[in-house]
């Protein structure tokens, strides 16, 4: 198993014992599927939590078979990239026997994350009101499309709908163009991040008070929370945000511009940088042009501004301009594809692609840790689990011997 220990820190000496990861000893029940919930729980597992993935028998997490192409084994790459550092237990929560085993697991847990449609966990008798009676210190997070209450609560929770209904799609794309969603699932991943932030805060609180709590997280609210910059213009000036392509609504020039061989991004975000840009381009006439004199002027004449700048930018390649602009302190960057970003010198240095061992796939690629803890760097200690791989192991840990497990099996605890 790959072990990522040396990110952004010095290697400890042979006499130093490794410090335990910060969530060592914390048990998380991952009762979620697809993206937001599994992603949140994977982050907790990366920090050392014992994440037990509770999956329905037969199919398991639907991402195993329904998200992207498969490799050598039965699981998709989507599943393999969101479920490392977990153990899998199959339980039929529709059966009384399955719920009995689940309640025993709840007694040993610190955090539970689920992302079924509102009302499903209550119907299964696995909702917070029910399970908190077995464990009052449990932190229980529900992830859904639109939250547990409100007129949209019962709607299916998908990233596309959350992006559309939160307003994110209203500012994505080019002016006058058709609707465009963000190229990455910002509502799903954002909700997973907000849920992680909430459960860790609630867990710290429960350590102090002995009382857990219920957390209601939604894709809709996560996407809305990302509007902090765009909505400021509306609330402050009454100007409704619209799509701007790669441009910025607060400063210009700050966007992708055309060069001789393609595009690159640059930003002269204050007056000093604007003057430096004009000097670098050897375009002194732009400084005194009344259309471009101040940032508000440049924002009001953004299109003609970019046309003027591109008259200069198309004379050289993107790489040449990026190098020249950076040399004089003007922010600039090359536009990379995902493969180029991961394989770039910097991406490799930051270890943003790592390979982990898997019993079916051999070496399988995973995205590296997005933040680096220097004192207790995250580790990969478990490959994405096979369906039900850890049933016997986990159930024995909570005191169920072979006979008890066999009795539960006979009553349908682990079967569809």
d(CA 4, CA 393): 25
Q: What are phi and psi of 370, to 5 degrees?
A: -75, -20
Q: Which residues pair with 100 in a beta bridge?
A: none
3-state SS class at 4 = coil
Q: Which of 230, 369, 249 is nearest to 300 (CA)?
A: 249
> What b/e readout covers 362-398, taking b as 16+ CB neighbours within 10 angstroms?
eebebebbeeebeebbbbbebbbbbbbbbbeebbeee
Active site residues: 188
Q: Which of 348, 335, 388, 393 is nearest to 7 (CA)?
A: 348
Give strand ranges (E) for 259-337: 263-267, 332-334
Q: What are phi and psi of 226, to 5 degrees?
A: -75, -5
Q: How many Cβ atoms are within 10 Å of 360's Cβ, its own excluded?
A: 15
Contact present, 59 and 80 (Cβ < 8 Å) = no
β-pairing, 263-267 vs 332-334, is antiparallel
Give strand ranges (E) for 162-279: 213-218, 254-258, 263-267
Q: How many Cβ atoms are within 10 Å of 294's Cβ, its own excluded?
A: 11
């Amino acid at each position: 198993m790959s072990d990522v220990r040396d990110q952004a820190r010095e290697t400890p000496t042979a006499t130093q014992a490794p410090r335990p990861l910060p969530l060592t000893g914390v048990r998380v029940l991952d009762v979620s599927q697809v993206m937001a919930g599994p992603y949140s729980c994977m982050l907790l597992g990366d920090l050392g939590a014992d994440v037990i993935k509770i999956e329905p028998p037969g199919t398991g997490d639907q991402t195993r078979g329904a998200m992207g192409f498969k490799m050598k084994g039965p699981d998709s790459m989507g599943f393999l990239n969101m479920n490392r550092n977990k153990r899998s237990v199959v339980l039929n929560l529709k059966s009384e026997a399955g719920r009995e085993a689940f309640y025993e697991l709840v007694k040993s847990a610190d955090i539970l994350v689920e992302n079924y449609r509102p009302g499903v966990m209550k119907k299964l008798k696995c909702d917070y009101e029910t399970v908190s009676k077995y464990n009052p210190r449990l932190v229980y997070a529900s992830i859904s499309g639109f939250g547990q209450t409100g007129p949209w609560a019962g709607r299916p929770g998908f990233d596309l709908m959350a992006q559309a209904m939160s307003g994110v799609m209203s500012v994505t794309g080019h002016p006058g163009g058709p609707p465009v969603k963000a190229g990455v699932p910002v509502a799903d991943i954002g909700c997973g991040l907000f849920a992680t932030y909430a459960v860790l805060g609630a867990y710290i609180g429960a350590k102090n008070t002995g009382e857990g709590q219920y957390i209601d997280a939604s894709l809709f609210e996560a996407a809305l929370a990302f509007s902090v910059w765009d909505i400021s213009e509306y609330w402050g000036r009454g100007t409704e945000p619209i799509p701007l392509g790669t441009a910025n609504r607060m400063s210009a020039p700050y966007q992708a511009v055309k060069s001789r061989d393609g595009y690159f991004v640059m930003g002269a975000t204050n007056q000093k940088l604007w003057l430096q840009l004009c000097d670098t381009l050897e375009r002194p006439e732009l400084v005194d042009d009344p259309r471009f004199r101040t940032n508000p002027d440049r924002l009001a004449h953004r299109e003609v501004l970019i046309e003027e700048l591109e008259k200069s930018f198309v004379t050289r390649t993107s790489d040449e301009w990026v190098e020249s602009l950076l040399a004089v302190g003007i922010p600039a960057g090359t536009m990379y594809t995902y493969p180029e970003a991961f394989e770039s010198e910097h991406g490799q240095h930051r270890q943003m692609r790592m390979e982990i061992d898997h019993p079916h796939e051999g070496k399988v690629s995973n995205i590296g840790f997005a933040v680096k803890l220097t004192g207790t760097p995250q580790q990969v200690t478990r490959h994405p689990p096979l369906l039900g791989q850890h049933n016997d192991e986990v159930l024995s840990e909570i005191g169920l011997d072979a006979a008890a497990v066999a009795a539960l099996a006979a009553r349908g605890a682990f079967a569809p």
